[in-house]
Chain A
Amino acid sequence: MGFIVTAIVSFIFWILLSGFFDAFHIVTGIISSLLVALFSHRLFVPEGTSLKVEAARIVRFSMYLPWLLLEVVKANVDLIYRTLHPSMPIDPVVIKFRTDIKEAMGKTTLANSITLTPGTVTMNVTEDGEFTVHAISREAADGLLSGEMQRRVRDIEGRDV
């Protein structure tokens, strides 16, 4: 199952990047994507992955994206203000918190989201889910500790883990 999914995704990627639809390119693409799938489907779809769970996660992730994008825009406005303000209003703090997100993908999503959202950069994530975050100001740290983003990323992962 993972083999077929990997082959299909690789082939779609091939089509997008090549842009040619003649027999030669199509056949080469099919052979290449089958080869790639043969070698790497265990990395792309690890053993014991339920496609239904992953599909639901992708749907929930795409509903998370608009919120994230809005936060990214806010982060940049905030950053422009702090950078160009003559007195440079920054007051950095380092905070630590724990999350109950278990899977590596969820932790990666949360860490990268923290880096992209206003005033915070992830410094360290441990195996057991402890996050060390550098915040450029008190308010940014408090915003993160309110836990809205954690809740949202937790919701993407789903309760069935």
Chain B
Amino acid sequence: MEIRVIISGILIFSGCFLILVAAIGVVRFPDFYSRMHPGGKADSMGQLLALLGLMVYEGFSFVSVKLGLIIVFIYIANPTATYALAKAAHLKGVPYWRKDSDKKEDGNGD
């Protein structure tokens, strides 16, 4: 097997792993805001690794340049979408989960 195929396989696999972790995180975390963490971080990194794997598989061509552009735009769009969701919840006053008291406080901070 070509070394390039192996590298792209590893990259795509780790990308899928991160997206799986993001999904588990969204289910496991206790409240809305902590669920934003896996959604905003692991998803972006997961798509980066998966698309990077495809870029390595493709080699340098127009297709890989386009894949690179997709990575860049998702990296701009994903944190922005996370921010939009978190801001909407924050302005609506969605409570956030605290460890010490195990009771919910309102989302407007201290």
Contact = CB atoms under 8 A, between A and B. Distances in A.
A83 B33 contact: no
Given A17-B66, A123-B86, A132 B109 contact: yes
Q: Which of A19, A88, A124: most chain B Cβ within 10 A?
A: A124
A19 B82 CA distance: 33
B21 A19 contact: no
A94 interface: yes
Interface stretch (A40-48, A72-80, A152-160): A72-80
Contact of B65 (A16, A112, A125): A16
Interface in B47-103: 62, 65-66, 69, 75-76, 79-80, 82-83, 86-87, 89-91, 96-100
A64 to B, nearest CB: 14
A91 B79 CA distance: 22
B10 to A, nearest CB: 15
Interface residues of B, number: 41
Interface string A101-132: 00000001001100110010111110000001
Contacts of B21: 79-80, 83-84
Contacts of B98: 92
Contacts of B86: 121-124, 134
Contacts of A88: 28-29
Contact of B41 (A17, A76, A84): A76
B69 A79 contact: no
A96 B21 CA distance: 29
Given A115-B40, A122-B86, A124-B91, A84 B24 contact: yes
Interface residues of A, number: 33
Contacts of B36: 121, 134
A82 B25 CA distance: 9
Interface of B: 18, 21, 24-25, 28-31, 33-34, 36-38, 40-42, 44-45, 62, 65-66, 69, 75-76, 79-80, 82-83, 86-87, 89-91, 96-100, 107, 109-110
14 contacts: A16-B69, A76-B18, A76-B41, A79-B25, A80-B42, A88-B29, A90-B99, A91-B99, A92-B34, A94-B110, A116-B41, A116-B75, A132-B109, A134-B34
